[in-house]
Amino acid sequence: MKQRGYIRLSIVATVSVLVATGALVVTRVELTQAQGLGVGPHLDEIKHDYRRPAAHPVENQALVDLGRGLFFDARISASGKTACATCHFPELGYVVTDAHPRNDSGKPTSRKSQPLIGLGYAGNAPVGWDGRSPTLEAQAKASMATGSMSMRETDTPVKIETIEERVKSAPGYAAKFNAALPGQPIDVDAIALALAAFERTLEPGIAPFDRWIAGNETAISESAKRGFVLFTGKANCAGCHSGWRFTDDQFHDIGTTTTDQGRGREIKDPALNFAFKTPTLRSVALRAPYMHNASIATLTDVVRHYEKGGIDRPSRSPMLVPIQLSERERLDLVAFMETLTEDGPRPSR
């Protein structure tokens, strides 16, 4: 990525110098017309970086199937009323639009939930807006033992052993656990293994953008194409929202109005105060309002936020420099982001 960016810059620089001397004016105009986008032939190179990899093969289908069942089963919560899917709707990319969905204690969560699509490609990236869990397994376990599934914020929390017993005695589960994890006890660790295996299979659906990348020039509008050029160029969005999932899986303070110290509090490093994990932009159009605190209402407002650069404070990313966009460019960026939603039938509950 970095290298391509560099090549791109040097091409632009070279072309500009030549244009300044008048030598290449004609070629430059021809290129522009050929592409219709005001960029040179290197657009194909940039597009190359956004090709989807082949879907990961599933290692243990029985484990994934078990995990899917558990994800939608409220019996793994303390009250028996909350499922993982309560705050992660499949049809929205496994997220909800509520700013603060209610947890199993009946209390609002402190942050918006996160989409789960594409997590199978996130490698060892820490899990959570602030990265407080090292793995998907740890996140699932914490959620049941002490988190949103636990009733910990009430006078009647439920021990994890009670949940384990409930799952063990539920009809059908013993056989499924045995098929997925032969010889292993049915406990919170096994439940977490299954949930995580299921989560790793949540592929972002094929979107118009993918068809464009694959070579179909009519899959997305000219406006969206210009938006992609801005996104990967002048507006520098791809500095963080990189690659086909549109995330670097890193933590940045982008200057939102927040009092939540995020990653900084988690790892006790003030340089990362107000920093949160870069969200994937897959299916982003489905899940307004935006950010960890749902502080930005629409995609257009998000673009306006980046134009100003957000609140200037020591932890703010140096990449958050104010940018100037015309009304058309703003629309183009939004049109581009709207091409990242799958248009086939979406998964449902």
Out of 64, 87, 117, 340, point to the residue binding ligand HEC (CB under 6 A): 87
- The SS3 call for residue 95 is strand
Of 251, 227, 200, 264, the residue nearest 338 (C-alpha): 227
Q: How far is the CB of 195 from ligand HEC (least distance, A)?
A: 5
Q: Least Å distance between CB 176 and ligand HEC?
A: 17
**Opening angle at CA 298, ends 260 and 43, nearest 5:** 105
- Minimum distance of ligand HEC from residue 29's CB (angstroms): 28
Q: Residue 188: enclosing H or E segment and its boundaries? A: helix 188-199
CB of 11 to ligand HEC, least distance (A): 22
**Whole-number Å distance between alpha carbons of 194 and 64:** 6
- What span, in angstroms and rounded, lies between the C-alpha atoms of 56 and 54? 6
Amino acid present at 11:
I
Task: Compute how many residues bind ligand HEC; rule: CB under 6 A.
Answer: 53
- Residue 343 CB coordination number (10 Å): 12
Closest CA to 319 of 330, 329, 328, 306: 306
Pick 144 or 193: Cβ nearer ligand HEC: 144
64 binds ligand HEC (CB under 6 A): no
What CA–CA distance (Å, rounded) separates 304 from 285? 16
* 202 is a contact residue toward ligand HEC (CB under 6 A): no
Quickly tell me which residue has 């793995």 as its tokens: 135
Least separation in angstroms between residue 10's CB and ligand HEC is 21
* Region label for 215, one of left (φ > 0), alpha (ψ between -120 and 50) or beta (otherwise): left
Alpha-carbon distance 100 to 94, whole Å? 15
- Per DSSP, the chain holds a count of helices (H) and strands (E) of 13, 2
Instruction: Tell whether residue 263 is a contact of ligand HEC (CB under 6 A).
Output: no
- Pattern 229-258, ligand HEC, x by CB under 6 A: ------xxx-xxx----------x-x-x--
Binding to ligand HEC in span 117-176, by CB under 6 A: 119, 127-130, 136, 139-140, 143-144, 148-149
Q: Return the number of the residue (215 or 314) whose C-beta is nearest ligand HEC.
A: 314
Residue closer to ligand HEC (CB basis): 19 or 122:
122
Residue 258 Cβ vs ligand HEC, minimum distance, rounded to whole Å: 6
Nearer to ligand HEC, 180 or 240 (CB): 240
Among 186, 291, 335, 340, binds ligand HEC (CB under 6 A): 291
How far apart CA 292 and CA 314 sit, in angstroms, is 20
Rounded to a whole number of angstroms, the minimum distance from the CB of residue 294 to ligand HEC is 8
316: helix, strand or coil: strand
- Based on the shown chain and the rule CB under 6 A, indicate whether residue 109 belongs to the binding site for ligand HEC: yes
Q: Could you give the angle at which helices 188-199 and 136-145 cross, rounded to 10 degrees? A: 130
- Taking the C-alpha atoms of residue 115 and residue 223, their distance in angstroms, rounded to an integer, is 26
Q: Which of 39, 64, 82, 340 binds ligand HEC (CB under 6 A)?
A: 82
Residues that bind ligand HEC (CB under 6 A): 82, 84, 86-88, 101, 103, 109, 111, 113-114, 116, 119, 127-130, 136, 139-140, 143-144, 148-149, 195, 199, 235-237, 239-241, 252, 254, 256, 276-279, 281, 284, 287, 290-292, 299, 302-303, 306, 317, 319-320, 333
